[in-house]
């Protein structure tokens, strides 16, 4: 049976913390050994901003995205700003999962035109949720129509159990969408806010996942440059998980392959700005071991592609500690 509940997030110093809307059925009893995850910026801009959407046929795209995402255990979507299509995706995925799925949606706080656009979908039992809104963002008065400040961008946190009868065996999952308009001068502050939220809301003895549109180039030269925005981001994230740091799965598995996510015609031209990262605790504790990763453009004969971003998809082995 479907039910709706409001789960209160814990406090985060200096940031706006909101309740997260949880559409939940805590009935799964399957014990997961391997999990499939996907991060996808789907570009459903609302209101007059719909004119900026690069892909047409919104209803068709929502249905096809729901069909594609239902193949995963954990899905992190960004830019689900348009409520009509957000819930169309939610219901499509839940129907594909036999009505057993969960959706965690950040609310829209007062003063913002939309919520942050992040949505987490999962088949795993949800233990708790929380969301944070960035206090640093580009403001409409300064940047006009394209300012990120119209949306309450931030981070969605969800703690997921391996199964309903293994609630002490869990992972912490974070979905985010970082600043696009003002670039690095704002994002450097968001790196710190995001890392602090992860530090406070992830269990250091359990694995965690961070996924989303980080709007930060992750090309080989950027990874090797200690002064790049990528290196500054990873330094903050590694401090948030001091036992084992954070691992960027694309270079860990694919080396120097470009893996562009902003170009649906090829992964070898463009920028890699969408990510799946994992954080593991020390030896002898539960681990997420990367098995495979892929950039999927989701080409579509009707709309060209399902979004102006490609999805990042990963398979992870969830192993217990020794």
Q: Helices 83-96 and 58-69, interaxial angle, to 10°?
A: 30
The CATH number of the domain holding residue 122 is 3.60.10.10
Lowest model confidence (mean pLDDT) among 15-19, 43-47, 226-230, 234-238: 15-19
Residue 234 is part of which domain span?
4-319
Render pLDDT for 236-293 as a digit per residue (tens, 0 to 9): 999 999 989 999 999 999 999 999 999 999 988 999 999 999 999 988 899 999 999 9
Region of 132 on the Ramachandran plot (φ > 0 left; ψ -120 to 50 alpha; else beta): beta
Which has the closest alpha carbon to 122: 24, 209, 33, 198?
24
The count of domains in the chain is 1
| CB distance 107 to 18 below 8 Å | yes
> Mean pLDDT across the chain, nearest whole number?
89
| Residue range 176-193: mean pLDDT, rounded | 93
Q: Is residue 198's pLDDT more than 60? A: yes
Take residue 103 and report the two structure tokens written for it. Answer: 């959706």
Query: pTM of the prediction?
Result: 0.91
């Amino acid at each position: 049976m479907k039910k709706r509940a409001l789960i209160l997030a814990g406090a985060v110093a200096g940031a706006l913390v909101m309740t997260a809307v949880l559409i939940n059925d805590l009935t799964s009893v399957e014990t997961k050994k391997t999990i499939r995850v996907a991060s996808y910026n789907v570009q459903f801009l609302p209101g007059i901003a719909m004119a900026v959407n690069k892909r047409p046929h919104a209803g068709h795209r929502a249905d096809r995205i729901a069909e594609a995402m239902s193949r995963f255990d954990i899905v992190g979507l960004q830019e689900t700003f348009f409520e009509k299509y957000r819930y169309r995706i939610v219901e499509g995925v839940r129907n594909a999962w036999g009505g057993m799925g969960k959706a965690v949606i950040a609310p829209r706080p007062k003063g913002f035109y939309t919520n942050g656009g992040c949505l987490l979908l999962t088949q795993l039992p949800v233990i708790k949720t929380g969301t944070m809104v960035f206090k640093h963002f580009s403001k409409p008065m300064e940047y006009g129509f394209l300012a990120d400040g119209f949306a309450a961008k931030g981070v969605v946190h969800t703690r997921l159990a391996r199964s309903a009868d293994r609630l002490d065996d869990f992972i912490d999952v974070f979905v985010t969408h970082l600043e696009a308009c003002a670039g690095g001068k704002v994002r450097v502050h968001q790196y710190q806010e995001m890392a602090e939220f992860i530090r406070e809301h992830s269990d250091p003895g359990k694995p965690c996942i961070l996924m989303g549109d980080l709007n930060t180039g992750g090309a080989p030269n950027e990874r090797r440059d200690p002064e790049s925005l990528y290196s500054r981001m990873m330094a903050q994230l590694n401090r948030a998980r001091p036992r084992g740091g954070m691992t960027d799965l694309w270079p860990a598995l694919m080396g120097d392959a470009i893996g562009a996510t902003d170009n649906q015609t090829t992964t070898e031209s463009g920028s890699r700005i969408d990510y799946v990262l994992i954080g593991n605790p020390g030896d002898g504790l539960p681990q997420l071991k990367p098995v495979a990763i892929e950039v999927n453009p989701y080409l579509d004969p009707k709309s060209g592609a399902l979004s102006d971003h490609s999805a990042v998809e990963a398979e992870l082995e969830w192993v217990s500690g020794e």
